[in-house]
Amino acid sequence: MRDNGDGGQAVTLKDLAVELGIHPSTVSRVLHSSSEIAKGAASAATAERVRELARKRGYSPDPQAMGLRTRRTRLLGVIVPRLSDLVLATMYEGIEESAAELGVSTFVMNSLDDPGEQRRKIDIMLARRVDGLIIGDVHLGSSLLQELTARKVPFVLMNRRAAGYPSATCDDVLGGELVADHLWEKGHRKVSVIAGEPYASTAIDRTAGFVARWRSLGGDIADSNVVWSRFDTAGGREAAEKILMNCQPTALFAVNDFAAIGAMGALRSHGLTVGRDVAVVGFNDTSLAAELPIPLSSVRSPMLDIGRTAVQLFQRVLHGERVEAVALKPALCVRESSAQERP
């Protein structure tokens, strides 16, 4: 931990100036001229003395004052459905890492996927004067993004995308296709999808990718075999129950690992053995998937990279660049829950 000399007040620009017998503005200029060469800011000698003392005193500029002057806070607001969702927490780790490298600090808030809460949290962040937002919980068809654009708030989307806006996501369509290919190859012909929340692009794209590929392979899948659900374990369980009431598929694709785990529980309750009687594939490859009693096949999405990418994109948006949507490639991890060949 850096010690700034005494245990109390931080040292200011003026303190340094006084000690050096020069004007504060000179100190400021030096500290801002890029590293070694103090081009035009001060003489090489002065610059050296300033930097030396700043280091010695552990000077760190007051962000409040800087922000007030420059109207840039280097604060970034991040809004997610909830941080206790492993997927979002991991993306946030990527954000934190990238932002820290840029000297940007991040606020995260949970919206619980509630539209009112989304607006409330965004208001709090704007009241804090963040330079912009990373939005991880956008709902399809919401007018929120248009409003933000009208208010000239810089932002990028993460995790979920929306047409026409910059975003960092997993290539969810591709993810769904990978699962379709895999199950088809294993010989499955009767499949169902636990599709997630219909307001989330992740759910829609994964499902659409799967269904389209399945049909192009010559497979058959009725709309009634696609069941929308919550993303959590309980949601997955309920969806699986609903599916089992209609028919008994040989394979289940859940667009989220937690939903998949819930589905596994339901199958077990029906006396079915996952991997033998029914194959199950999840999505995200959260750290748990591989560690379950019956290890879960899952599409690995590059969560950390999605977070990092969101920060990079945001910087470009802030600089006024035109930024498009970035979709990072996923990969399928096959495990016991779906490894078995269908006779």
For 193, other C-beta atoms within 10 Å of its C-beta total: 28
Q: Is 333 in the site for its own copies (CB under 8 A)?
A: no
Which residue number, 69 or 322, has a Cβ lying nearer to DNA?
A: 69
Specify whether the CB–CB gap between 227 and 254 falls below 8 A.
no
CB under 5 to 8 A by kind: which of DNA, its own copies, none does 23 bind?
Answer: DNA
Q: Is 288 in the site for its own copies (CB under 8 A)?
A: yes
Could you tell me which stretch among 61-69, 186-194, 318-326, 327-335 binds its own copies (CB under 8 A)? 61-69
Q: Is 261 in the site for its own copies (CB under 8 A)?
A: yes
**Gap between the Cα atoms of 87 and 206, Å rounded:** 15
Helical ranges in the chain per DSSP H: 13-20, 24-32, 44-57, 63-70, 86-101, 115-127, 144-150, 172-185, 201-216, 233-246, 257-269, 303-318
Specify whether the CB–CB gap between 186 and 341 falls below 8 A.
yes
Q: Is 144 in the site for its own copies (CB under 8 A)?
A: yes
Could you tell me which stretch among 48-56, 65-73, 215-223, 314-322 binds its own copies (CB under 8 A)? 65-73
Specify whether the CB–CB gap between 112 and 83 falls below 8 A.
no
Rounded to a whole number of angstroms, the minimum distance from the CB of residue 31 to its own copies is 14
Rounded to a whole number of angstroms, the minimum distance from the CB of residue 221 to its own copies is 27
Rounded to a whole number of angstroms, the minimum distance from the CB of residue 317 to DNA is 20
Rounded to a whole number of angstroms, the minimum distance from the CB of residue 27 to DNA is 7
Provide the edge-to-edge strand list for the sheet that holds 75-80. 105-110, 75-80, 132-135, 155-158, 167-170, 325-328
Contacts with 178 (C-beta within 8 Å, 6 or more apart), sequence order: 299, 330, 331, 332
Axis crossing angle, helix 233-246 with helix 257-269, rounded to the nearest 10 = 50
Rounded to a whole number of angstroms, the minimum distance from the CB of residue 291 to its own copies is 4
Q: Is 259 in the site for its own copies (CB under 8 A)?
A: no
Q: What tokens were used for 315?
A: 């910087």
Binding site for its own copies (CB under 8 A): 1-3, 7-8, 10, 60, 62-65, 67-68, 73, 82-84, 86, 89-90, 92-93, 96, 100, 105-110, 119, 122-124, 127-129, 144, 147-148, 150-152, 232-234, 237, 261-262, 264-265, 268, 287-288, 291-294
